[in-house]
């Protein structure tokens, strides 16, 4: 009987270990995606700053006399 309990306990621990590995892999993938997203956001920010033109002057309207 103790052998069956031991096997089921070992199987449970193995299942937990596999789950932890899956979570670690998912976390690493999310960290990579976050890094890429931050890079893209920084590049978009730099690109938008380089295209900003100075404020245009209001056009002068000719006054009729």
Give the C-alpha separation, 17 to 53, whole Å. Answer: 56
pLDDT digits 0-9 by tens, 5-15: 778 999 999 99
Distance CA 17, CA 14 (A): 5
Give pLDDT, residue 23. 98
Nearest CA-CA partner of 18 in 26, 7, 28: 26
Give the model confidence (pLDDT) of 26-54 as tens digits.
999 999 999 999 999 999 999 988 766 66
Backbone angles phi, psi at 55, to 5 degrees: -60, 135
Q: What is the mean pLDDT of residues 17-24?
A: 98
pLDDT of residue 57: 64
pTM more than 0.85 = no
């Amino acid at each position: 009987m103790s052998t069956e309990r031991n096997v089921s306990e070992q199987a449970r621990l193995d299942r937990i270990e596999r789950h932890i590995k899956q979570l670690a892999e998912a976390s690493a993938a999310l960290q990579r995606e976050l890094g890429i997203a931050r890079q893209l956001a920084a590049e978009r920010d730099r690109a938008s700053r380089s295209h900003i033109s100075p404020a245009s002057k209001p056009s002068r309207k000719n006054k009729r006399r």
